[in-house]
């Protein structure tokens, strides 16, 4: 006899495995992007502007963040708002299972997909382009967990403030582009300097990008970057918890 929560999580995993498009964007697309960028010769040259690193080195943490953005902002909110809209959450509420278990299941399957994607990106970058493995393992894990927490917080807040799946998608898109920009997907914000850089450092993905890059280079991430992510995460979860509606 399996517990209700385990049964719900197992079902969520099965259903998630059927979402081929989501899986592509979360698990494969980041590596694909890294592969395409790595084909450009200048991306593989180390640059003194980047502290002796090459652009492709910097794109490894960026593509790690990309999978988090895809999972937490593009996939999870429409799924959950859809569950609410189609009455799945309410229906589950009529059973001994707690509807919260479906939220837990969604967070878990997305977190696992992101983790798989990150491992693939890091190993692929290493094998294909000789990008460095994270040197400060502890620092990387701390930065990674915080980045994932803040990502899921963004997803949770989008879900909570969107009355239906359609709005969820619109709000998701509005958040998606700045997230992509601050994470450095469009161009390496690492290379920016001055005020623009400082402002970006106070966004969740700007801070995440800094922290992951520091850890990748062997240094423990700056506490201010970790604090920025932690602060955003707490704020976003507060919004999510206050605004969330089951029906």
Return residues touching other proteins (CB under 8 A).
Answer: 1-4, 6-8, 11, 14-16, 18-19, 78-88, 91-92, 95-97, 164-166, 169
Q: How many CA atoms lie within 13 A of 210 on its CB side?
A: 22
Q: Output the smallest distance, CB 79 to other proteins, in A.
A: 4
Q: Output the smallest distance, CB 2 to other proteins, in A.
A: 5
> What whole-number distance in Å separates Cα of residue 102 and Cα of residue 50?
43
Judged by CB, which is closer to other proteins: 109, or 228?
Answer: 109
> What whole-number distance in Å separates Cα of residue 35 and Cα of residue 124?
8
Rg (CA), the chain: 18
Q: Output the smallest distance, CB 115 to other proteins, in A.
A: 20
Judged by CB, which is closer to other proteins: 92, or 113?
Answer: 92
Q: Output the smallest distance, CB 86 to other proteins, in A.
A: 4
Judged by CB, which is closer to other proteins: 73, or 80?
Answer: 80
Judged by CB, which is closer to other proteins: 64, or 156?
Answer: 156
Q: Which phi and psi (to 5°) does residue 46 adopt?
A: -75, 145
SS3 content of the chain, % helix, strand, coil (to 5): 80, 0, 20
């Amino acid at each position: 006899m399996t517990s209700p929560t385990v049964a719900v999580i197992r079902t969520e995993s099965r259903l998630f495995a059927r979402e081929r498009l989501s899986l592509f964007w979360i698990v494969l697309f980041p590596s694909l992007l890294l592969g395409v960028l790595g084909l450009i010769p200048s991306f593989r040259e180390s640059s003194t502007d980047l502290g002796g690193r090459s652009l492709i080195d910097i794109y490894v943490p960026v593509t790690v963040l990309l999978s988090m953005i895809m999972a937490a902002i593009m996939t999870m909110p429409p799924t959950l708002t859809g569950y609410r809209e189609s009455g799945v959450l309410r229906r589950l509420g009529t059973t001994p299972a707690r509807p919260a278990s479906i939220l837990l299941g969604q967070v878990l399957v997305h977190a696992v997909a992101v983790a798989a994607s990150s491992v693939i990106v890091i190993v692929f970058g290493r094998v294909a382009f000789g990008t460095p493995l994270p040197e400060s393992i502890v620092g990387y894990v701390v930065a990674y967990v915080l980045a994932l927490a803040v990502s899921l917080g963004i997803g949770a807040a989008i879900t909570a403030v969107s009355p239906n799946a359609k709005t969820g998608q619109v709000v998701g898109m509005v958040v998606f582009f700045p997230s992509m920009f601050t994470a450095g997907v469009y161009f390496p914000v690492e290379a920016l300097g001055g005020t623009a850089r400082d402002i970006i450092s106070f966004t969740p993905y700007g801070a995440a990008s800094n922290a992951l890059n520091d850890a990748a280079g062997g240094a423990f991430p700056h506490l201010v970057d970790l604090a920025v992510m932690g602060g955003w995460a707490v704020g976003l979860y507060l919004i999510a918890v206050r605004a969330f509606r089951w029906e």
